[in-house]
Structure 1
Amino acid sequence: MPGCESTAEHKAPKHRGLNEYYRFCFDHAREYNNAWDFFSGMSGKEVQDHMMNSVYGDRPTWQYGVGGEGHAEDILRDKIHRSYHGSEGKEDSPRNGGNRGFSVAQNTPEFEAMALMGLEPPVTLEGIKARYKALAKKHHPDLNMGCEKSEELLKHINMAYTILKLAYKQFEQLPER
């Protein structure tokens, strides 16, 4: 900053790309970062899309195609429900008044997150939160005398909790469960 005598050792982002930085002294970097809004100029939909993409590590995703049988979302939801509940027909699906808990297909980030947290589908948001709290207490660095293995596990648990929480919120927004 003009007139500042301190050394400019601290980076502050120039824009959302996060690949170019200004250099400031500590106090000016803090001031700049507090005033800077990453989501400034984005619509609510763009913010939500950015958050969902970041949950999956900004990897590309795509919708499943369906050849005239119905909506892919409905078919997938029914397949997932049947795979976990052993139901042969749609009469027991969540769409038709069956269990309304959140369940996921295998080999997905949500499934891996549930496995890491020791949860089995269907789960509720309250169940996810309760399990997270128990695991966070168990693996907290203060209780484990700085054990690096517990610290790493806690980082993975935090990530898993974030994935499940966001996935559950998306699940709740689906029409007619």
Structure 2
Amino acid sequence: MSGASETSTRLCEHEGCELPGKFRAPKAPDVLDEYKWFCKDHVREYNLKWNFFQGQTEAELNAQATKDKVWERETKDFRDPEARAWARLGIEDPHQVLGNNATRNPGKQGVGTRRLPPTERRAIEILDARDNWSKADVRKSYKALIKVLHPDMNGGDRSQEDQLQEVVWAWDQIKESRNFK
């Protein structure tokens, strides 16, 4: 389709042109339903010079581009009423009510990924280790804790003896475990 109006009886509105004006072009950006009529060559020339945004500021141009994204329809807030109710309480995400546990996967125990018996899981926590560590890595953590807690290493202070016993128990659990290589 060429855009030509085959039934047009007008002459081209370009100065000095005697050809039939079968192609229409808007007169101005603010008057889009009134047209000038041109021949094929002159409508091309007119369209090359046409600038819809001529005379507008950059802010007006950006506002028009924003409106064009949604076909000049006003958008509305699609959040459900429950989300708006949470927002009134100052909570953007309903999961915030649950605190840090809101996004924690209940299928995974602790921070690890391995399925361990409860005694080994407790031992890992006591030793400040991770379940994906090797036995050698857990042993390094065990040795570091022993150096801090043992009375011979901290000037004879026996106040941490209970914690020391827990650390020794935890290492015994891991040492005998088949879950750590």
TM-score interval for Structure 1 and Structure 2 normalised by the shorter chain: 0.3 to 0.5
- Normalised to the residue count of structure 2, the TM-score between the two structures is 0.36
Structure with the bigger RCO (C-alpha within 8 Å, sep 6+) is 1
Please identify which structure carries the higher helix content: 1
- Normalised to the residue count of structure 1, the TM-score between the two structures is 0.37
Larger Rg: 2
